[in-house]
Amino acid sequence: MTIANPPPGDPRTGAGAAGAAARVAGRRQWPLPRDADPKAPLLEVEHLTTHFRLASATVHAVDDVSFRLNDGEALGIAGESGCGKTTTALSLVRLLPSNGRIVGGSVKLFGIDLVHKSENALRRYRGREIAIVFQGAMNALNPVRRVRDQVAEPLEERLDVPRREARRRADELLELVGIPRARGAAYPHELSGGMRQRSMIAMALACDPAVIIGDEPTTALDVMVQAQILELFERLRHTLGLSLILITHDLSVIAETCDRVLVMYAGKVAEEGPVDTIFRTPRHPYTAKLLAAFPNIRADRRTLEVIPGQPPDLRNPPPACRFESRCPMARDLCREVAPPETTMPDGVRVACHLWPASSDGITPAWTAPSRPEVVIGADVGGVAATSEGAGASVGAGGTEPVAG
């Protein structure tokens, strides 16, 4: 994407969103930061640990989280409310509340560790290299400024683009996300919820970031608008070569949009790997329970699974496995020793004492709940179905079939 100086041969004759996409299509136009390592992964997070200080305690919100985002990849971060998804994302560019602090680990973008950057130095990366689309666009947009001006603001503030050029560019960006230029003069309350969310995406795109983080970007939107926003992300990702991190509790959003999924529980990584592998054969009991709790609109009606109990209090998390009190497979070992992360031969990383359990290093002590007919990306009312046909849930004695 380019802002002020379009590359030679850049098509400028297209109309509508397709034309706008054509104008900005292509790989990164900005030079990498000076101290970047061109051979390094796009984003590499290692042992990230973030705490919140309260008057009487410390909340261990994110604990030893590691993952990698490759160029052009979409990573979904899933889990219940309070599991650390958003704190993980905000930690990447240190947009934490004043009582939040990264106490360990590294966040390397192009090989540059952002954790130890000063606030001033970090401004170079916020918006320009990592941009966030927040949930609830009505709250995120300024209600008394026109949408065009808000989209133009990052260009003026971060890239010193002159106001006139920034506004012209904002119009292009609005068109790119499917908002007619004329609507740029509107105030947020004059736009629909979907258009407001599109405006937020245009704003995130403004500085041509390497990574866009969508924090529950489709929450509070109706299902048709959700589908349109997801389709927009998908189109932008392929047209502009974006790398995405999508935070959601909605597994269908991840099935529809992402290549890899990171399942978090109580501030820690439970399981991580390719979406289709994990959705077909979840290995961590928590992932299996999450999938079993998800409705399947193609199957017969059934009572959804629930995960009994509550997540642990992160002011005083359990010393060993944090899922132990809710896990039907818990053993004494789970109460005494924190499960290490094990990388399986198919690239799935899982933190559970059940893996690997046998001498071949592949077979667990119990039969993993199998969902052999999971449909990835099947369009059902605009939102992907995540499962089809019979599934199974983890039971105390192994797997139990469940209806649907």
Contact positions toward ligand SF4, by CB under 6 A?
285, 321, 323-324, 327, 329-330, 334, 339, 352-354
Distance CA(138)–CA(128), nearest Å, equals 23
**Distances from the Cα of 268 to the Cα of 77, 93, 131, 360, 382, angstroms:** 12, 19, 24, 27, 31
Q: How far is the CB of 395 from ligand SF4 (least distance, A)?
A: 13
C-alpha distances (whole Å) from 299 to each of 227, 252, 294, 389 are 21, 15, 12, 6
How near is the Cβ of 357 to ligand SF4 at its closest, in Å?
10
Cα atoms in the 13 Å half-sphere on the side-chain side of 55:
0
Distance CA 28, CA 145 (A): 30
We find the least distance from the C-beta atom of residue 324 to ligand SF4, in angstroms, to be: 4
CB of 288 to ligand SF4, least distance (A): 10
Using the structure block, give the residue that is written with the tokens 């449909």.
375
Please say which residue, 184 or 339, places its beta carbon nearer to ligand SF4.
339
**Strand 130-133 vs strand 211-215: parallel, antiparallel, or unpaired?**
parallel
| Minimum CB–partner distance for residue 228 and ligand SF4 (Å) | 37
For the chain, helix (H) and strand (E) counts, in that order, are 12, 16
CA 384/CA 386 separation, integer angstroms: 6
Residue (72 or 318) nearer to ligand SF4, CB: 318
CB of 350 to ligand SF4, least distance (A): 9
Structure tokens at 134: 């927040």
Coil, strand or helix: which one is 80? coil
Cβ-based nearer residue to ligand SF4, 341 or 388: 341
CA 235, 171, 256: angle at the middle one, nearest 5?
20
- Considering the complex, what minimum distance in angstroms separates the CB of residue 345 from ligand SF4? 19
Minimum distance from CB of 306 to ligand SF4 (Å)?
17
Nearer to ligand SF4, 85 or 268 (CB): 268
**What are the residues whose beta carbons fall under 8 Å from the beta carbon of 192, sequence distance 6 or more?**
225
Q: Are 31 and 236 in contact (CB under 8 A)?
A: no
Secondary structure (3-state) at 384:
strand
Task: Quote the least distance from Cβ 308 to ligand SF4, whole Å.
Answer: 13
Min. distance of Cβ 333 from ligand SF4 in angstroms? 7
Q: Choose between 187 and 366: whose C-beta lies nearer to ligand SF4.
A: 366
Q: Residues with Cβ < 8 Å from 288, sequence gap 6 or more?
A: 282, 368, 369, 392, 393, 394
Structure tokens at 361: 């290093």
User: What are the E-state strand segments in 55-173?
Assistant: 58-69, 74-78, 100-109, 112-113, 130-133
In three-state secondary structure terms, 290 is helix
**Helix or strand holding residue 49 (H, E):** strand 43-53
